[in-house]
Structure 1
């Protein structure tokens, strides 16, 4: 398996030639690198600006994030949402929530974000008949297929579901574990789902952008 999915020089070029995130998000990156374990879980500029742009294009009023970590992707999505939009974020790490909330409180878009502590599947059960316009999934990979199916039920026609890490460091090409197989099955299920259309982007660790048709 290759050590890197995209040539490092090519990725650096893409990074440099992508619009920069706001200074507050750059500060959040530094704080995450300094204070949190597994800082690579943070989405980063290429994924973050993609999420912001997709949100700006679709103007979701009801959005969901499964796997918030320290809030970089949440703030990116909220930046693109309308002023009255609401983004519900699911997270199980109290330290990550504490850091994220500090940055939400300093952001002009922080009022759009509502953090829910606990398992995402449990939080989904509390949403009632809420219809989602936009969802970003970046959490426990073992539950990816469940997340997709549950979110799809709650997504309006025309709404977006975006899944991160769908290349799984290239392991989907030669799956060797149950976890690898789950990612493979999730990707195949989406590609064959007649209720959606999707584009599988080779952006960083893979980004699957799904639009519900009906």
Structure 2
């Protein structure tokens, strides 16, 4: 968005939605995706590499403390909604076991209601990858995995020169993060604008402009 007013309205609205719905994946994405894309899109900048080298040296000194902090953060993150974490873990175990033992190639074809242990939640409903393995097998798993990886690599390269690709890179990173906590298939009605942005980044004129700028 080129208009600063509407850009800030969008940013403030997004932050408000994440905080109000208390989405853990949303909080992680809000804190890490934008800084990550900022640095990824400037990998050809020597200043970034020098700054990063100094930062890594400083971080290595405090490595033990940082690991303890990460441990505490992960524990608190899981305890924020302990019941949800327990159900998700049980659903994952059931999905993997039944996929491996019953239908490894094509999956079961349909979603099945889980047992009382997971409060009757559908198996694979809280994780895109486990859900794909259970319902569509290894074939369905790679049908999503390969396009996601290719999209990530292409946008990673284009983001060095193209603002549209940087926006698309943000979108694909958020989708990847949410794929480990939600079923993307049933949330398509929410994130379809992200797919539009990713599609715009793959337009021929955008790709050509990006690579021509890089070659110059």
Q: Sort the TM-score into its range (normalised by shorter chain).
A: under 0.3
Mark the structure with the bigger radius of gyration.
2
* Between structures 1 and 2, the one with greater helix share: 2
For normalisation by structure 2, the TM-score amounts to 0.27
